[in-house]
Amino acid sequence: MAKIKRFGLYIIAIFVLGFGIVLNTKAGLGVGSINTFPYALSQITPLSLGMATTLLYFVFVAAQIGIYRKAEVKLLLQLPFSYVMGLVIDFYNGWMDFTVEGLPLQLAVLAAAIAATAVGAFLMVSMELVPNPADGMARAAGYVMHKEFGEGKLIFDCGMILTTAVVSLVFAHRIIGIGIGTVMSALFIGRLIQVLGKVFGEKTAGIVEASRG
């Protein structure tokens, strides 16, 4: 029963995280750092947001294999995860076909997106199953630079934003997907995850331990 609950919460995490990612794009204030590149790619190519995300995640998986020089099962499972996440994102992107206007409403949508992303990410990490390829890549970046995960993630996020800025300027002659929402996501998602960990950490850890027993 505990294994089913653990897997069920992980599936819920995928859908909540996908909802948060797409809702963030609807706010129109800039998307989260990791999502800036696939969002920009979806704006300047025929690729959908989900397809662009899946392709980027595939690149992350390949990069991790190259960095660690081994392909563990948990790492390879990031490939089907990437595909499923792309489908979930495209589902939400098609379903949430609306435009948000007016700064107060945009901020409210952004706040909801940040909350959903934090909840999804917290559940995903807590269930200790297949990691998000973006987090796996950030950890690999820290490994290469001999930095802790937090430092590696910060450097990796900044690199993603810089790459997005360059690509969007070259191909679209404007900055795409980067704005105040990008900054607010960086400031608050991590902190919300920490809060969730303090409040629900013992419960989620208990589910994981029970499923292993």
Number of other residues whose CB lies within 10 A of the CB of residue 197: 15
Q: 189-195 long-range contacts, Cβ below 8 Å, gap at least 24?
A: 189/32, 189/114, 189/117, 189/118, 189/121, 192/114, 192/115, 192/118, 192/119, 192/122, 193/118, 193/121, 193/122, 193/125
| Residue 212: predicted pLDDT | 63
Main-chain phi, psi angles of 145, to 5 degrees = -90, 5
| Residue 62: predicted pLDDT | 93
| Residue 45: predicted pLDDT | 94
- What's the rounded Cα separation, in Å, for the pair 52 and 48? 6
| Residue 205: predicted pLDDT | 67
- Of 117, 100, 107, which is closest to residue 186 (Cα–Cα)? 117
Decide: pTM greater than 0.85. Answer: yes
- What's the rounded Cα separation, in Å, for the pair 60 and 45? 20
| Residue 213: predicted pLDDT | 60
Per-residue pLDDT of the chain (213 residues; tens, 9 = 90+): 777 888 899 999 999 999 999 999 999 999 988 899 999 999 999 999 999 999 999 999 999 999 888 888 888 999 999 999 999 999 999 999 888 889 999 999 999 999 999 899 888 888 888 888 988 887 788 788 877 766 777 788 888 899 999 999 999 999 999 999 998 888 888 788 888 888 887 777 666 776 766
| Residues contacting residue 40 through CB under 8 Å, at least 6 positions apart | 164, 167, 168, 172, 176, 177
Number of other residues whose CB lies within 10 A of the CB of residue 48: 17
